[in-house]
Each structure stands twice: as structure tokens, then as C-alpha cells.
Amino acid sequence: MSGITEPRSTTKRVLQANIWLVYLFFYAPILVLVIYSFSDSRNVGAWGGFTLDWYRDFGDSSAAKGALSNSLKIAVVSTIVAVVLGTISALALERFTFRGKQVFDALLYLPIIIPDVTMAVMLLLFFSEAANIFGFSKGFATITLSHIAFSISFVSIVVRARLAGMDDKLEEAAVDLYATKWQAFRHVTLPLIMPGIIGGALLAFTLSLDDVVITEFVTGPGWTTLPVYVFGLIRKGVTPLINAISVVMLVASMGLVALSLLTDRARGESAEIE
């Protein structure tokens, strides 16, 4: 028995060491970024003492605050539209059979599969041709529509996963109790898939806030988003200001992910209680 126990304990230690190496690989760069965002030296890779000046510079910069405001406006609008369209798409694919369903399902995955640069070029050409025909300029509308275009797929996938794990008999029971289809959806289906909708919304919001490639191609004068603003700062020279802005974006993204997990857990606990 001791001969069997010893290899098992060795395997366990190796697996634990591997886990810590994976964590180190993923989070060591983030830790370095956070530490050097408080450095008093203009050299991004040198520690010059603790300071909050870079965060103050970010707060005092009208360009940075304008870029943050633009990012939030675009993210809110694109998330709302993407959640509505993505949820409808998920319901259509999971609950109904129609001609062209497989084609629609395949097309829905394209924004996830194709590279960001490819999609950015396609959207740039589309909006350039549309601008020539209808005479509008690139800006808020073009960026928002672009973010909606790739966010719908992510929302749909998350909601479909929730629908796939839902028992169809619950809807059938509601209909048997003389509920209309709308009442069954409102009182049974919607509450059950709400964690998926919230998760998809937070994912879409995060993707919109973090996007730089597609936004860089379709942006217009006066509508620089925060990631594009950071990308512009890199061209001028890397300073701890970029570290500070990156930390702000990182904290915001992690906060949204944490909120999604807490919401899903809270709804799961309430469902168990019921």
C-alpha cells in the first residue's frame, strides 16, 4: 500500500507545481504591470519609488477622460442592442426549426472565428461604401454598429448554453396550466435564462471596452476610445501612464467578470432554495 501511496503523492505534488506554474505564467505579467504603474520613474521598466502621479495625470487629462466617456457610451449602447438581438437569435436556434437554420447558425459564429483584422477591414470597406452612398461620417454610429456585430455572437452562445441546460418540460407545464406563450416565456423561460443573459451582457460590455483593432479601423474624429487612446500613447513612447491606464481597464474588466460570477452564483442559490 505504501508503494502505491508514494507515486500518488508524487503525482499530486507535480500537478500542484504545474498549477502554480500556470498561474505564474498568466498573472506574473499583470502583477508587474500593477507594480510599475506606481513607479516614480518615467522609464517604464525601472522602479523609481512609489507615486500616484500617473493616476493623477490620467484623472487630469481631458483627452483620457473623453476617451473613457466615449468607450462607456459605445459599450452601453452596443451591449443593450447585442443582448436583445443575441437573445432572440439564441431562442430562434434552440426553440424553432426554419429554413436556413444551419446557415444562420454558421454565420453567427463567423465573428468569433475570423481574425479581428479581417473583420475590421470588411467593416471599413462596408462603411466607406455606405458613406459614399448616404453621405455620413464615421464616428459613434460606425463604432457602435461594429461592436454590435461581433458582440451578438458571444451573447448568443452564452444564452444558448443556458437554454440547452433548461428542461423543456417546465415550459410545457406552464402551457398546460393555460399560460400563453408570452406568459410562459416571461414567467418561466426568461427567469431561468437570465443568468445567461446577464453573463452575455457583461461579456459584450467587456469586449466593447477592450476592443482596439476593429475600433481603430472604423473610428472617426472626436470618437477615440480608451484602448485606441492607449495605443496612440504607445506610439509616442511607453511611460508608466500607460501602465496606470492599463490597470484601470484591467480592474474594470475583472470587476465585470466578478459581477457576472456573483450574479450567476446568487441566482443558482436562490433557485436551490426555491
Domain ranges of the chain: 61-273
pLDDT at 48: 79
pLDDT at 84: 95
pLDDT at 98: 84
pLDDT at 144: 95
The pLDDT averaged over each successive group of 10 residues in the chain (274 residues) is: 60 84 86 86 78 85 86 94 94 86 86 90 90 83 93 92 80 76 82 86 88 91 87 77 83 77 63 51
Cell of 78: 452596443
pLDDT at 85: 95
pLDDT at 159: 92
pLDDT at 218: 92
pLDDT at 132: 81
Cell of 98: 426554419
pLDDT at 121: 93
What are residue 39's DSSP bridge partners?
A: 50
Q: Please give the biggest Cα pair distance in the chain.
A: 80
Cell of 220: 472617426
pLDDT at 136: 77
pLDDT at 266: 62
Whose CA is closest to 81, among 162, 151, 161?
Answer: 151
For the domain made up of 61-273, the CATH class stated in words is mainly alpha
- Three-point CA angle 77, 74, 142, nearest 5°: 100
Task: For 39, list phi and psi in degrees, rounded to 5.
Answer: -80, 140
Whose CA is closest to 71, among 233, 251, 211, 253?
Answer: 211
pLDDT at 74: 95
| 3 state SS of 238 | coil
Task: For 50, list phi and psi in degrees, rounded to 5.
Answer: -80, 135
CA 59 vs. chain centroid, Å, equals 24
State the helix-helix crossing angle for 190-210 and 62-95, rounded to 10 degrees: 140
Helices (H), the chain: 2-36, 53-60, 62-95, 101-113, 116-134, 140-164, 168-176, 181-184, 190-210, 213-218, 226-236, 240-273
pLDDT at 162: 86
